[in-house]
Chain A
């Protein structure tokens, strides 16, 4: 049973519009969440994180929202750019974390159309 779900395998968005990628989790012990971006033939790169003491974290065009009661988080990209086209992985863990208990979702492939 997947503890971290990304129910949309793919998403297409027009350049300049908002991209919203969703992630749901089942384990109420998770209290730290990350988003990674992965281009083909490259390793995942860290994008943004949020801990459970917050409900929002922003970094430039990227904002992550956390709804603990719904066990749901989302990544907003505004405005979307063609270079954002990649696979996005949501990951969750329970702190303290030495890296061994990150649980990754299956990923969502974002295509930003010019």
Chain B
């Protein structure tokens, strides 16, 4: 089974702090994603990466950055956390085109961030 692991399930941070959210997948997927989930808004794409050291902005990248130094690891960084970044953050991965399961995102369990 594909496994996407988000190391921090619950975090509480103060406004202005730097926040790192880590995500690791163990199935050699090319593509990785960060979403945030807010009530009534569904899942919104923050950033994605289709290869090591490559990144692309999603729909709501403002206030976030990402890092992908290794294929299996994709990090989301909040340089200076703000209260409107309080949310559930979901990491996901998907294999490259042509691979089995290429059209289904597999999600991690989520990281609930509260910014005070």
Contacts and interface: CB of A to CB of B under 8 A. Distances in A.
Contacts of B108: 43
Interface string A55-87: 000000000000000000000000000000000
A45 interface: yes
B103 A49 contact: yes
Contact-residue size bin, chain B (C-beta under 8 Å from the other chain):
20 to 34
B86 to A, nearest CB: 16
Contacts of A9: 40
A102 B43 CA distance: 10
Q: Which of B9, B41, B94, B104 has the most CB of A within 10 A?
A: B104
Interface of A: 4, 9, 32, 34, 36, 41-46, 49, 89, 91, 93, 95-100, 102, 104-107
A98 B45 CA distance: 13
A43 B4 contact: yes
Specify the main secondary structure of chain B where it touches its partner: strand
B109 A100 contact: no
Contacts of A100: 31, 33, 45, 48, 50, 56, 58
B107 A45 contact: yes
A32 B97 CA distance: 15
A36 B43 CA distance: 11
